[in-house]
């Protein structure tokens, strides 16, 4: 469950909140302490140590915002992120949070009502747009759910919202809090990689079999599913590994219950390379031919990306011809090379999600018929 958490530190200012009470009830034998936030701000903690600590405090505000997408010409799907928590107890070699977040502690924001107010404000600003919200940008949505119970809070909240879905994205199998809830406006998503990559590069995350079993249970409970092949990696025998992975995926779940699938190849800011080499000297994923893209991130050269995408997307289409399949942070040229065309803009890609949900799942999701004029 959450055995990787060795201590819980609680900001005095949030000690009386319902979320803190829930965490203390669920913590088992994990020790806890009430401290002043200044003690945390002045603490010197390594990332390895920080991933073993849960710090519960107030949200700094501005917790609901557009995805921090890469720069043009790479297309972005205009996802809206919810920073309910930051940092992750898993330790993936390629994780951008190693370089992106300054605070190494897993941080949970206790005043959820303020975040819900922000979500409502964002929706009021564009009442006719269909929104996809998600908590998995700066944290794993479910890794600590047995401790925090956040999934219940968010699913219940979004069940009251029109024109919106909440996506809970994970590399865990922590779904016990989900199975008795109304799944009306929730997509439960998994990041997937072949078994060999999970073992070598996704430390402390659930196994492939555990993730697929969890996905099947969520499907059976009525949820829509999502899958993210991101980062796709090139390595020896990658073709057979991804082919086998997709066979296992579609043996476990019904493609008609999949809301979307994303593809994204390995990419990272140059500064992350030094962090990865220092923390994971045995990893070999950095040593394919790479180039610095127009957004400043390192990525495979285009012919290698196109080959990777073409084969994986073709295999997906064999199993799921109608699923909404898209690239995360890719250029129009790559879209054209793989799919024969590309969205005209970020807003056009955003509209594509709404149109797909409307066409495939409108009997389940409370939403207006999407119109392009509301996507800008």
pLDDT range class, residue 49, cuts 50, 70, 90: confident
Q: The tokens of 142 are what?
A: 């479910």
Residues 6+ apart with CB under 8 A from 209: none
pLDDT of 47 higher than 90: no
**Domain ranges for the chain:** 58-374
For position 176, what pLDDT does the model report?
A: 96
Residues 6+ apart with CB under 8 A from 168: 134, 135, 136, 141, 142, 151, 154, 155, 186, 187, 188, 189
- What would the mean pLDDT of 10-31 be, rounded to a whole number? 96
Q: The tokens of 208 are what?
A: 């492939």
- In this predicted model, what pLDDT tens digit does every residue of 168-196 receive, in sequence order? 999 999 999 999 999 999 999 999 999 99
CA distance 59 to 85: 9
Q: The tokens of 263 are what?
A: 């593809």
pLDDT of 373 higher than 90: no
pLDDT of 44 higher than 70: no
What are the phi and psi torsion angles at 37 (to 5°)?
-60, -30
The owner of tokens 């249970």 is: 217
CA distance 211 to 186: 17
Helix (H) / strand (E) element for 179: namely none
Least confident of 29-43, 134-148, 230-244, 322-336: 29-43
Sheet containing 85-86, strands listed edge to edge, beginning at the edge strand earlier in sequence: 32-35, 7-11, 53-57, 106-109, 85-86
Least confident of 38-42, 76-80, 357-361: 38-42
- In this predicted model, what pLDDT tens digit does every residue of 301-357 receive, in sequence order? 999 999 999 999 999 999 999 999 999 999 999 999 999 999 999 999 999 999 999
Q: How far is CA 94 from the centre of its chain?
A: 14
What are the phi and psi torsion angles at 75 (to 5°)?
-85, 145
- In this predicted model, what pLDDT tens digit does every residue of 108-136 receive, in sequence order? 999 999 999 999 999 999 999 999 999 99
For position 69, what pLDDT does the model report?
A: 76
- Which fold would CATH assign to domain 58-374? pyruvate-formate lyase- activating enzyme (3.80.30)
For position 267, what pLDDT does the model report?
A: 95
pLDDT of 95 higher than 80: yes
For position 261, what pLDDT does the model report?
A: 98
For position 3, what pLDDT does the model report?
A: 67
The overall average pLDDT reported for the chain is 94
Q: What is the DSSP-derived secondary structure letter of residue 330? A: B
| Percent of the chain topping pLDDT 90 | 89
DSSP SS3 for 167: strand
Is 69:76 a contact under the CB 8 Å cutoff?
yes
The owner of tokens 């968010």 is: 154
CA distance 50 to 4: 11
How would you class 354 by CB atoms within 10 Å of its CB: exposed for 0-12, middle for 13-18, buried for 19 or more?
buried
């Amino acid at each position: 469950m959450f055995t990787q958490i060795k201590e819980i530190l609680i900001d005095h200012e949030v000690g009386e909140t319902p979320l803190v009470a829930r965490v203390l009830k669920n913590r088992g034998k994990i020790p806890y302490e009430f401290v002043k936030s200044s003690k945390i701000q002045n603490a010197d903690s390594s990332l390895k140590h920080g991933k073993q600590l849960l710090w519960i405090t107030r949200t700094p505000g501005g917790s609901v915002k557009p995805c921090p997408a890469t720069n043009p010409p790479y297309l972005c799907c205009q996802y809206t992120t919810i920073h309910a928590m930051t940092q992750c107890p898993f330790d993936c070699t390629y994780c951008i949070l190693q370089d992106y977040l300054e605070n190494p502690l897993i941080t949970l924001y206790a005043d959820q009502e303020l975040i819900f107010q922000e979500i409502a404000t964002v929706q009021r600003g564009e009442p006719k747009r269909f929104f996809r919200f998600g908590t998995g940008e700066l944290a794993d949505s479910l890794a600590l759910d047995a401790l925090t119970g956040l999934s219940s809070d968010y699913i219940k909240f979004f069940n009251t919202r029109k024109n919106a879905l909440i996506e809970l994205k994970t590399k865990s199998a922590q779904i016990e809090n989900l199975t008795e809830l109304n799944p009306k406006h929730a997509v439960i998503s998994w990041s997937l990689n072949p078994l060999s990559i999970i073992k070598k590069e996704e430390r402390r995350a659930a196994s492939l079999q555990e993730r697929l079993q969890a996905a099947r249970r969520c499907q059976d409970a009525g949820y829509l599913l999502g899958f993210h092949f991101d980062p796709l990696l090139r390595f020896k025998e990658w073709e057979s590994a991804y082919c086998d992975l997709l066979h296992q995926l579609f043996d476990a779940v019904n493609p008609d219950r999949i809301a979307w699938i994303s593809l994204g190849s390995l990419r990272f800011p140059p500064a992350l390379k030094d962090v990865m080499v220092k923390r994971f000297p045995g990893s070999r994923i950095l040593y394919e031919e790479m180039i610095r893209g127009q957004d400043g991130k390192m990525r495979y050269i285009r012919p290698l990306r196109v080959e990777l995408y073409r084969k994986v997307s073709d295999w997906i289409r064999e199993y799921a011809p109608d699923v909404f399949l898209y690239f995360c942070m890719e250029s129009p040229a790559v879209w054209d090379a793989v799919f024969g065309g590309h969205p005209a803009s970020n807003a056009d890609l955003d509209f594509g999600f709404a149109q797909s949900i409307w066409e495939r799942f409108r009997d389940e999701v409370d939403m207006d018929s999407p119109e392009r004029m509301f996507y800008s």
